[in-house]
Amino acid sequence: MDNTKRQHGRPGWRFVLLALLVAVAISGLVRSLWLDIYYIPSASMEPLFETGDRILVSRTDFRTQPISRGDVVVFDGRGTFAPLNSGQGPLLDAASSLGHWLGLTGSDTTYVKRVIGLPGDHVVCCESDGRLTVNGQSLEEPYVYDGDVPSKQKFSVIVPSGRLWLLGDHRSMSADSRSLLGAPGGGMVPVDRVMGRPVQIIWPLDRFGSVERPSKAETTTKDGQ
């Protein structure tokens, strides 16, 4: 009699399954609307992100503060970057495998890069001192990987309306907008393909810390524009 009562008091497998489904649904809602976890599989954004980092990405930051030059963005590269066979996409979507969902493996269509050219900007490589110029003014880039030059590849591009010109911080290791010069779209990523902004490194624990938006000094050209 007592054993029977104890068995009835235990949650059945249906309850456990329902609880699991609810948890997955809530997690999916949070990740689709507010926050997501991304995996960094390459060195293209060093020193900011290292291979193997897991980052938390806010989907809402750019709703209140528009994308600025110098911002780091996570974006859907389908139709623009996705042809690049560089393994530099950081992660997952709802249709991905379990590894993607947990932020353990990378994706072939999601990328993380830094905004160098905004709509209407004229971005050129390079001045005699090796710096990029934006609208004729030298661009300050303290985030570029130590020992790298801003770009060994010369280019002159005008960013169309509604598009972004994006580069990795570790320029010698990054496949980015430069790699698609001459291709359809020219490496210009639609603004509406931006999925969010990295706000926190959550793994490994010894690298745990917030990812701040660049200061004004890190996003301006030499004359302060």
3-7, 18-22, 62-66, 187-191: least confident range: 3-7
Whether 109 shows a pLDDT value over 90: the answer reads: no
- Sign of the torsion angle spanned by Cα atoms 66, 69, 74, 80: positive
Please state, in angstroms and rounded to a whole number, the distance separating the CA atoms of residues 21 and 96. Answer: 17
Tell me what pLDDT residue 222 has. 52
Q: What is the pLDDT of residue 99?
A: 45
Same domain, 7 and 93: no
For position 90, which CATH number holds? 2.10.109.10
- Give the mean pLDDT of the chain: 81
Q: Tens digits of per-residue pLDDT, 80-106?
A: 887 665 444 444 333 344 444 444 444
Q: Hey, is 157 helix, strand or coil?
A: strand
Q: What is the pLDDT of residue 175?
A: 92
Q: Could you tell me if 21 and 49 lie in one domain?
A: no
What is the structure's pLDDT at 12? 76
Q: How many residues does the chain have?
A: 225
Residues 4 and 86 in one domain: no
Looking at residue 183, its pLDDT comes to 87
Q: What is the pLDDT of residues 185-197, one digit of tens each?
A: 889 999 999 999 9
Give domain status of residue 224, yes or no.
Answer: no
Nearest to residue 73, comparing CAs of 163, 182, 172? 163
Same domain as 107, residue 40: yes
Is 225 inside any structural domain?
no
Q: Note the pLDDT of residue 79.
A: 86
Range of the domain at 140: 35-218
Whether residues 7 and 85 share a domain: the answer is no
**Which residue spans within the chain are E strands per DSSP?**
35-39, 54-58, 72-76, 110-117, 122-125, 132-134, 137-138, 155-158, 163-167, 188-190, 194-203, 209-210
Whole-prediction pTM value? 0.77
Q: Which residue has the higher pLDDT, 32 or 64?
A: 64
The domain tally of the chain equals 2
48 and 67, same domain (yes or no): yes
Q: Are residues 115 and 174 in the same domain?
A: yes
pLDDT tens-digit map of 13-61: 776 666 566 555 554 444 555 588 888 989 999 999 999 999 999 999 8
What is the pLDDT at residue 112? Answer: 94
